[in-house]
A and B are shown apart, each in its own frame.
Chain A
């Protein structure tokens, strides 16, 4: 079964059950993502993929990676409202991801594209920058695809951290699949492939993360 919908004014036919994000990509329309990965279950934590959707005359904002297409939907992937949401999200994430005031990787590209003021929330940010936005791509890829369970989340709320379990991480030396996934560049620049100094469960337990 296919459904017909409109994305950015373009008539699109999409298979029923796929997400707005997938339908848009098939139609060649780019939507930014930070926590989405084609091989993983949708996570819906970064919200950067938010789009405007109009169904039966009602407009709402949804995360395109977690919302299925529907017959007759009208989707806008860019609008003043969407741009403002994305800009603010980047600004909120910036203080924890910046290294010496500079963003890296995907975050840097997005900040430029949306004209984000990366210093906007700096003065109100009191924690140590962890450089992790908790997108969970590393954790979920290791769980769902690689199956090694070498990296996982610990703690909750503002204390949540992604940590490596060195004794499980023998495979990391050759795998390194998560290195390229990390949207902030934390993993490639902070891991040493072996004992994960400063990134391990022992560091977490010692209260150093």
Chain B
């Protein structure tokens, strides 16, 4: 379950979640990336308070926690919506008109790529290959892959997303 981004700001919550994540790897410093992945799954992104907790509880300098968190694309240091839309901009999808698909989604949701909607519902991202080029152009919405969806298909999916 995703925790809404506004709720995740409360620090006691952060420390509890971090304690659980850190504990499940036996407080092993080497598990930093795993811990961050788990927390990213809980909060949807990595808020500053969470990163500082990780640094304290894992006894790793906060500099290092940030370096790792800002290095990998799997982590987000900015708040993200409850639903993540990833439009593939890989070569195969480009050729099959993924830019148009992106434009359509942008227009339907009235938001630009890399943005999170103000109501915290959606984040629109571009990625470089989802690994299923034959299905292109592909968009993954909450990890469900849609092959060349029509505007009506998209609208239906977006409407059903809380």
The interface bits of chain B over 48-75 (1 if a CB of A lies within 8 angstroms of the residue's CB, else 0) are 1000000000000111101100110000
Q: How close is A142's CB to chain B, nearest CB, in angstroms? A: 8
The interface bits of chain B over 9-32 (1 if a CB of A lies within 8 angstroms of the residue's CB, else 0) are 000000000000000000000000
Q: How close is B114's CB to chain A, nearest CB, in angstroms? A: 10
The interface bits of chain A over 140-157 (1 if a CB of B lies within 8 angstroms of the residue's CB, else 0) are 000100000111111110
The residue that B66 contacts in the complex, of A143, A150, A152, A156, with Cβ under 8 A, is A152
The residue that A156 contacts in the complex, of B61, B62, B71, B77, with Cβ under 8 A, is B71
The residue that A152 contacts in the complex, of B67, B77, B78, with Cβ under 8 A, is B67
In the bound complex, CA of A149 to CA of B61 (Å): 6
Q: How close is B15's CB to chain A, nearest CB, in angstroms? A: 17
The answer, yes or no, to whether A196 is at the interface (CB within 8 Å) is no
In the bound complex, CA of A143 to CA of B64 (Å): 10
Contact A168 B62 (CB under 8 A): yes
Contact A154 B67 (CB under 8 A): yes
**Of listed A150, A154, A155, residue having the most chain B CB within 10 A:** A154
The residue that B77 contacts in the complex, of A139, A167, A205, with Cβ under 8 A, is A205
Q: How close is A174's CB to chain B, nearest CB, in angstroms? A: 19
Chain A residues closer than 8 Å to B71, beta-carbon distance: 155-156
Which residues of A from 133 to 179 have beta carbons under 8 Å from B?
A: 139, 143, 149-156, 165, 167-168
The answer, yes or no, to whether A201 is at the interface (CB within 8 Å) is yes
Residue of A nearest to B48 (CB): A205
How many residue pairs between the two chains, A and B, have CB atoms under 8 Å in the bound complex? 34
Main secondary structure of the interface of B (DSSP, over half): helix
Main secondary structure of the interface of A (DSSP, over half): mixed
In the bound complex, CA of A151 to CA of B64 (Å): 10
In the bound complex, CA of A149 to CA of B63 (Å): 6
In the bound complex, CA of A5 to CA of B62 (Å): 45
Q: A205-B48, A205-B77 are in contact. Are A150 and B63 (CB under 8 A)?
A: yes
In the bound complex, CA of A88 to CA of B87 (Å): 39
Residue of B nearest to A142 (CB): B63
Q: How close is B26's CB to chain A, nearest CB, in angstroms? A: 23
Q: How close is B56's CB to chain A, nearest CB, in angstroms? A: 12
Contact A149 B62 (CB under 8 A): yes
Contact B61 A201 (CB under 8 A): no
Q: How close is B69's CB to chain A, nearest CB, in angstroms? A: 9
Residue of B nearest to A159 (CB): B70
The residue that A154 contacts in the complex, of B48, B61, B66, B78, with Cβ under 8 A, is B66
A contact set with B: CB distance below 8 Å: 139, 143, 149-156, 165, 167-168, 201, 204-205
B contact set with A: CB distance below 8 Å: 48, 61-64, 66-67, 70-71, 77-78
User: Can you list 25 contacts pairing A with B, beta carbon distance less than 8 Å?
Assistant: A149-B61, A149-B62, A149-B63, A149-B64, A152-B61, A152-B63, A152-B64, A152-B66, A153-B67, A154-B66, A154-B67, A154-B70, A155-B70, A155-B71, A156-B70, A165-B62, A165-B63, A167-B62, A168-B61, A168-B63, A201-B66, A204-B70, A205-B48, A205-B77, A205-B78
9 A-B pairs closest in CB distance: A152-B63, A149-B61, A154-B70, A149-B63, A155-B70, A156-B71, A152-B67, A153-B67, A154-B66
Given contacts A165-B63, A205-B78, 6 further A-B contacts (CB under 8 A): A149-B61, A152-B63, A152-B67, A156-B70, A168-B62, A204-B70
